Every structure is written in C-alpha cells, then in structure tokens.
Structure 1
Amino acid sequence: MHRRKFLHNTIATSVGASVFTTGAFAFSKSIQTPPHQFNLKYAPHIGMFKNHAGEDVIDQLNFMADQGFTAFEDNNMRTRPIAEQEAMAKTMEKRGITMGVFVAHEIYWSEPNLTNGDENLRKEFLKYIQDSVAVAKRVNAKWVTVVPGYVDLRLEHGYQTANVVESLKQASAILEPHGITMVLEPLNYMNHPGLFLKKSAQAYEICKAVDSPSCKILFDVYHQQITEGNLIPNIEASWDEIAYFQMGDNPGRNEPTTGEINYKNIFKYIHEKGFKGVLGMEHGNSKAGKEGELAVIEAYKEMDNFLG
C-alpha cells in the first residue's frame, strides 16, 4: 500500500465559496455527547470524518474540534491553494487546533534524491524547504515532514549518510530562524522497499550529526513495529531527538485497538514522559461510513481514558 493512498486527497483545482464557511455545526448533530477532554494532542486528517462532516475541509476541522481533538495534520497542505490554507488556518486558530505536519518536499519514492549528493537535486530540495517556510507561517505549522528518498545502490552507505546529513544541515539553516522543525520519518521496508531511512537508530544518528533543533525524528509507530519492533525501548533510546509521533495499528494500518500494538502502554509511556507535541492519526478507518468514524473516535477515547 502506498504511504499516502489511504489518505483522502481533497486538493481542489479551485477554491469554492464553501471553503470560507465558518461551520454551522449542523453536521455534528448525529453525535450529541460533549467533546472528550483528551490528554494528548491526537491529530486526525482530512477525510477521516467526511461521512459525518461532509467534503468541506472547514466543516471537517470543526467536526474534529467538536469531538475534542486539539490537533490536526495534513500531508497535502503545501499544495493546497493559498486561500484554502488561510481559511483552514483561521478555523484552526478559532477552534484551538494545533497544526501538525505537512510534507515539505517532493518525495522520490523510486530513485535516489538526497542520498547521492547530486547538487541539482539538493538545490531542488532546499527550494522546497524554503517555499515550505511560507506555508508553515501561513498555517502556523511548527513541523514539516522530510523523507530523504531512495537508496543509491552505487554508493556505500556511509557516503549516502554523509550526503543526507549535508543536505539536512543546509535545510536546518533555512528553518532555524523561523522556529520550524523538519521531522525525518523512517519508513518500513514492506510498504516502501528501497528507501534509505528505515530505523529509529539510523534517524537518531543522522539527527545527532546534523545537530540542529530544526532536524528531529518523526517516530511512526506503525512503521517501526514492522521494521524493528521493540517499540518503547526504541522510543526511549531516541527520545531526545523525537519531536513528533504518528499512529496506526498493525496489521491493517487502522486505528488503535484493531491490531497487535499495545497502544495503551505506548500512550501511557509518551504521556508520562511529558510529551506536549502532536500525535498524528496517519491511518485509515477499519470500518466504512459513519460507523467507522465513530469507531475511530471511541478507540482514541478508550486509549486516552487509560491515561487517567
């Protein structure tokens, strides 16, 4: 499964009047319970609750807030029209929603990018990073996702690491003055064979080499369960370089409680460590329609209630 296929792509070719709605909340009438007071900043994405909220992105943001979610992430934010970004930012500010990650650059899924040291590809990457600063400021985002790309089979691993580190150092110099952090996401070898960045220890090594507050780790629990397991010890070992988490159970990449991962203990550990950042809900819904959307909400309530 392609990393982004389960996310619903709602990028429009033009921005209709509905983008600028403030949300009348009529779409929330099917859920009458008060908003849950979550202990952590779980972040849904566009499309996760569209059966309740409809297709309009503003209505979806309002629906998330109505359920008690205090964060939101959107991989596609960089490519949305500026007017749509501004409308979403206004709604997030009004509803007290923290903006999570968006993908900062074009990801090379099947060919080398940052690994081979090509200066033209590096310049292209840095241009994406520079452009993403404006997007981040527009939507008040503090984190952007970076994936170094494909392995270069013609180069020793150490040379590839040095090439990646150099690109990330230059990107950090762009981001640091603006207080923006790029988070490196290791991806599993089954869904994404051939990618350079796979394990948390590898990401930790790179972040230590870059040595910047603008270069940290995105620890995706779904990916690391497949790649390395031993989740809590690996989170502990790389804790000082982790700035962001993403969730998804395995197998299936759906909401917690649908697979083998003990999210009660993982959330408990993260909460007790005092984590104040965002935990992205980068997964699908295990069931279709409104029933599936309610199941996602209830799963997070169940896991969160375990925190006390």
Structure 2
Amino acid sequence: MQRRNFVKSTLNATGLALTAAVSGESLAANWHSQPNFLAKNNFKLKYAPHFGMFENSAGKDLIDQLKFMADMGFTALEDNGMMGRDPALQTKIGEEMTRLGMTMGVFVLDKGGNSQNSLATGKQEFVDIFLNGCKKAVETAKRVNAKFTTVVPGDFERNLPIGIQTGHVIDALRRGADILAPAGVAMVLEPLSDTPNLFLRTSDQTYEICRAVNSPACKILFDIYHMQKNEGHIIPHINWCWSEIGYFQIGDNPGRKEPTTGEINYKNVFKYIYDKQKADKKEFIFGMEHGNSKPGKEGELALIKAYVESDSFAV
C-alpha cells in the first residue's frame, strides 16, 4: 500500500477532522485533491516531533515515521537518543531527512552532565567525560546534519558556594564550546524542573552563564514546559533572554502533553516568537518534547489537530 493511501485510510478510519488552512474539509477528504494540504510550509513555525510520537500511524520503522512526519507538514525532527544509535542508522536518518527537506533538531550530548558527573563540582574526571562527549557529538552531528546538542550541567555541589559552582560550570562549558564551535554545533543548555537538586533551574541563570561563556556554541534551550513550572511569566522571560536562546521545546502544563491540553496559551506564545524571530530574521526549531494526551492513532491525530489550532494565529 502506498504511504499516502495508507495515511488516507488511517484518517478515514478514525473519522477525526483537522481544520484545514484552505478549507473546512477533513484531511482525509483532501489527501489527493489537495496534495500540498499539509505541505512543509503549512505550519508557520518549525515544529520537530520525535520518534515514537506517530508510531501507531506510521509503524515502528524510523524512516517510515520520518516520511509520515513530512507528510503531516512537520519540517524538523528531534531525537534525544541519537548519539546512542548505530552510526550507519544515523547516516540513513540524516540522508532521508535531507531528501524530505527536514531539519535536525537537538540530540542529548552523551554524559554531558548529570547527577553522576556534575560540572558544578569542578572535578577533572567529570570535565573529561563532558569533553569526550563533545567530541563524539561532533561526529554524530555530521551524520545527521545537526546544529544543536542538549547539555545539562548536572546537580548542585552542596558543599561549595554557588559562585564557585557557577565558575566551574562556565570553565567546563568554555572548553566544550571550543570543541563544538569549529564544527558549527552549539550546545544548548537546558534549565529543568525535574528535581530541585539540578544546578540549572531558570532561564535568567542560564542567560548569565551563556553570556559568561561568550560563544556562539553555547546557547539556551528554552523549554516552555519546564520554565512554566519553575518561573512562569513565559513571554517576558523569552524577551529578556532572547539574544541567548538557541532552541525551544514544547509541552503543556500540567501533564507535559501537546498544546491545548493544559494552562499555557501556546497560540499567544507561538505568535510572540513568530513575530520576534521574523523581525530579527531568525528561525528557531520547536522540539515537541512531550507525550500524547490520548492513546493510539486517535491520539496522534488529535495531537496534529492541536498543532494546527495553536499555529493558526494571525500574521
């Protein structure tokens, strides 16, 4: 069965209608009559699903999932576990993304900093682990044409003053940036809400560190879900940190599911970023780092509908 016929039958089976940009008819009814109905330019922003997000509709094969994402209008991919994949598969993914006109988003830098090897400690063994990860990340980035890798500096070192910890983190990141910058790769530092033990918690703290590292290879990963939990006041914080933001991630709160399922007004947030990046001639990737609020194919199509709705702001 051809992929487009498969998707048509999938959509017909669920009976879920998506709001079309060109008409009020369902995607299923328009699949052949409107072959570019959800082409890559339909979404105003570059949203990046991850593998597994559309597995019920596209199957388990990663290349088939990429094709489905492209057919649905998504123009980017993020894959936190990319560094752990076989190099041959990385190359295959990179080549298919090029063919589909898709952009690679972030992958997590292997052992880039965590509770076992926190950069805040200043310990040389942990710095060496991080720097080796940077070198490996450069090779992975070449295979998949990536420009960003996620770095989390790890936990607090509670027996050291906060200023000393911050200095240790800055020193390590400067050395990592020296490895990544020549390859055109940027580490994006992600403040998180998962546990209060994490050293990096807020966007302003991350801004301060990026300014101190002072490299195009060290920017902020502004995860809207985590920042809603830790600090709120999302649009002002985006504005204040704008010059150091390199990447966005999405997830509604509570629940960490797709937009429209929680308290964040993503349509307003997306419009703000869209207008600001257009004025500054930038283009960000928006990693869809969240789960699906509903199971199965129905949940996957509901997720697409949520992005169509949230992306429907006026320009």
Tell me if structure 2 keeps the 8 A contact 1:27–1:54: no
- Which residue among 70, 85, 94 is the counterpart of 1:80? 85
Offset, 1:35: 1.4
Moved more, 47-56 or 269-278: 269-278
Name 1:53's counterpart in structure 2: 58
Please show how residues 110-259 of structure 1 align to structure 2 within 5 Å. Answer: 110-188=115-193, 191-259=194-262
2 CA distance for matches of 1:136 and 1:38? 25
Name 2:287's counterpart in structure 1: 280
SS of the counterpart of 2:221? strand
Q: Does 1:296 align with 2:299?
A: no
* Structure 1 unaligned spans of 5+: 1-22
Name 2:7's counterpart in structure 1: 28
Identical columns (%): 54
Offset, 1:24: 4.7
Offset, 1:83: 1.3
Tell me if structure 2 keeps the 8 A contact 1:126–1:171: yes
Residues 133-156 of structure 1 show CA distances to partners (whole Å, capped at 9, x for unaligned) of 000011000000000001111111
Offset, 1:110: 3.3
Offset, 1:193: 2.9
Offset, 1:128: 0.5
Tell me if structure 2 keeps the 8 A contact 1:255–1:299: yes
**Distance change >3 Å, CA 76–CA 84, structure 1 → 2:** same
Tell me if structure 2 keeps the 8 A contact 1:144–1:183: yes
Offset, 1:280: 0.3
Offset, 1:306: 1.3
Tell me if structure 1 keeps the 8 A contact 2:108–2:151: yes
Residues 19-68 of structure 1 show CA distances to partners (whole Å, capped at 9, x for unaligned) of xxxx8555423243431511100000000000000000000000000000
* Structure 2 unaligned spans of 5+: 12-27, 32-36
Offset, 1:108: 5.1
Offset, 1:86: 1.0
Tell me if structure 2 keeps the 8 A contact 1:271–1:307: no
Tell me the TM-score normalised to structure 1 length: 0.89
Please show how residues 9-24 of structure 1 align to structure 2 within 5 Å. Answer: 24=3
Tell me the TM-score normalised to structure 2 length: 0.87
Name 2:17's counterpart in structure 1: none
**Distance change >3 Å, CA 27–CA 53, structure 1 → 2:** farther
**Is the radius of gyration larger for structure 1 or structure 2?**
2
- Which residue among 65, 68, 82 is the counterpart of 1:63? 68
Residues 146-173 of structure 1 show CA distances to partners (whole Å, capped at 9, x for unaligned) of 0000111111110000000000000010
Amino acid at match of 1:79: G
Residues 176-202 of structure 1 show CA distances to partners (whole Å, capped at 9, x for unaligned) of 1111110000001xx223000000000
Offset, 1:120: 1.0
Tell me if structure 1 keeps the 8 A contact 2:112–2:129: no
Name 1:10's counterpart in structure 2: none
Tell me if structure 1 keeps the 8 A contact 2:109–2:133: yes
2 CA distance for matches of 1:89 and 1:64? 15
2 CA distance for matches of 1:294 and 1:187? 29
Offset, 1:109: 4.3
1 CA distance for matches of 2:131 and 2:6? 41
2 CA distance for matches of 1:53 and 1:112? 38
Moved runs in structure 1, 4+ residues, more than 6 A? none
Amino acid at match of 2:68: F
Offset, 1:111: 4.0
Offset, 1:293: 0.3
Name 1:261's counterpart in structure 2: 264
Amino acid at match of 1:64: M
